[in-house]
Structure 1
Amino acid sequence: MAFSLPLPDARRIRSFFTKLPLATRVLLALLTAFWVAHAFRPGLEQWGALIPQEININTLYRLNTYPLLHKNVFHFLLNAIALVPLLERFEAENGTIVTLLLFTGPFGLLPGGLYTLLERYIFRSNSAAIGASVWVFLLLCVEAIKTYRQNPALNISGYAIPTWTTPLFVIFVIHFLIPHTSLLGHLCGAVVGYLWGLGIIKFLAPSEKILRWVEGKLNLLGRLPHYVSVDQKTYGRYGVLPSTGANNSGVGPGRGTLGAANGIAIGPVGSTQRLGP
């Protein structure tokens, strides 16, 4: 008996990539460019990897370059495939400027700095770390916190497992199944993701007032294709505000409806509370 796997629809794949927002495109292009450069310059990995004992005032750039480098094409493709959908969702919720600022700054520096401190002063080791998987688990933890607020636990065989712990389970499974993965690096990314999801480090993002002024002054929405502005965000930085149309439609306080902006459905909202952080 012959078995055949359905081939992926090329039109849907093409449609997915043509709809990617700007910051996601830029970061994916950076990952690809560094992979191509690494293929021609093998020493690039040594130059940009996060090597704890090599971090000093002259090599602080390593705290931002290590997520852009990958060991081989399998490592690159695996991370890129996992990262793009998560990054697209993050940009839709936070805007293009915020996404670019965070992923070229604090979201590399914070987990990288934490990793360096733990390796140098706690574990007394010098294990190098590279790869965008630190961003993957950071974003998974952001999503896990949002899921936890809506659905605090998963019931499996009578055991209630907190939904915020699911990325940690994935981290340990990958560590045991895939050799040479950095358990500590992934956990450092997870810590930063949890801090962002809980709102503890939301101050790292510029205020919406400043962002609106910059966008209006430079007319970014009109000049840049696929740009996500502050006012176009799908859910808003701190969650969807209640929809006044909920009660008008006869939906009571305990039930949800679809919120809308300019006639476009933007997600499920309750009539008395907002979703998200």
Structure 2
Amino acid sequence: MRPNVITEAGISTRLNQWWGSIPFITSGVILICGAIYLVCLLTGYDSFAEICFLPSVVASRFQVYRFYTSVVFHGSLLHVLFNMLALVPLGTELERIMGSVRLLFLMFLLATTNAIFHLIIAFLAAYNPLYPLHFLVDECSIGFSGVIFSMIVIETSLSGVQTRSVFGLFNVPANWYAWILLVLFQFLASNVSLLGHLCGILSGYLWAVQLLASWTIILFFY
């Protein structure tokens, strides 16, 4: 019996140490998304039509709140678990580099710019004269993954890492990492928003360039 007690205590200690190593804003986002999913599960709420990012409704009714509600809601346990586990290393590293307040502000900006890119591209694709894709303006999107794709691009730019591991199976050039994940998720998972992830990557590049420029100026004057 004694070895089992030691093993259980060891697991509990390691979990506490792991959770304690996650900084304030990153752990806060995990708790918020987890709590929202738990409330939805307990109340049986599974119709996200009023909170998802729906381009046609956002544009026609100017429901800007969907920019942010769509980010913190998730459709399944695997959905929220996968997103939050992906957030832990990214958020921890960016919060270490940038600080908690700046990371919180960055997440807000990323959710905003992701949604704006999503709106623009969805309507351009839906009403282009050559091959209109009307379904894109009626696609209901939820989840934190768009922001995570943005954070992947930003963290890669700030860290200067040269390669990334894809699911621990093989390494790829860091600059290709987000794009490879974009393609893989379309093949490996169902009900994945290609446009939501794409806009996350584009938004990430936008802020990565600005952050790098700002840091260069600060270091130059310092």
Asked if these proteins are the same fold (TM beyond 0.5), I'd say: yes
Q: Residues of 1 paired with 2:185 and 2:83: CA distance? A: 12
The RMSD of aligned alpha carbons is 3.1
Whether contact under 8 Å (1:142, 1:196) holds in the other structure is yes
Partner of 2:119: 116
Q: What's the % identity of the aligned pairs?
A: 22
Partner of 2:109: 106
Matched, 1:83 2:95: no
- Higher-Rg structure is 1
Deviation at 1:67, TM superposition (A): 1.1
Partner AA of 1:113 in structure 2: I
Deviation at 1:153, TM superposition (A): 11
Deviation at 1:13, TM superposition (A): 2.4
Partner of 2:58: 55
Whether contact under 8 Å (1:134, 1:185) holds in the other structure is yes
Deviations 1:78-114 (A, max 9, x none): 11111122111111111111112222x2111111111
Q: Residues of 2 paired with 1:15 and 1:198: CA distance? A: 35
Whether contact under 8 Å (2:26, 2:87) holds in the other structure is no
> Any residues of structure 2 matched to 1:28-43 within 5 Å, and which?
28-39=30-41, 40=43, 42=45
Matched, 1:130 2:132: no
Comparing 21-30 with 77-86, greater Cα deviation is found at: 21-30
Aligned length: 196
Closer, same or farther: CA 25–45 of 1 in aligned 2, 3 Å: same
Which protein has greater RCO, CA pairs closer than 8 Å, 6+ apart? 2
Structure 2 residue runs of 5 or longer lacking an equivalent are: 1-7, 127-133, 166-171
TM-score by length of 1: 0.62
Matched, 1:141 2:144: no
Q: Residues of 2 paired with 1:144 and 1:16: CA distance? A: 23
Partner of 2:15: 13
Matched, 1:69 2:81: no
Partner of 2:174: 163
Whether contact under 8 Å (1:79, 1:133) holds in the other structure is yes
TM-score by length of 2: 0.76
Deviations 1:164-185 (A, max 9, x none): 1121011101111111101111
Closer, same or farther: CA 150–32 of 1 in aligned 2, 3 Å: closer
Q: Residues of 1 paired with 2:217 and 2:150: CA distance? A: 19
Whether contact under 8 Å (2:158, 2:212) holds in the other structure is no
Which residue among 160, 164, 179 is the counterpart of 2:190?
179
Partner AA of 1:144 in structure 2: T
Partner of 1:96: 100
Deviation at 1:162, TM superposition (A): 4.8
Closer, same or farther: CA 238–27 of 1 in aligned 2, 3 Å: farther
Structure 1 residue runs of 5 or longer lacking an equivalent are: 1-6, 155-160, 204-236, 243-277
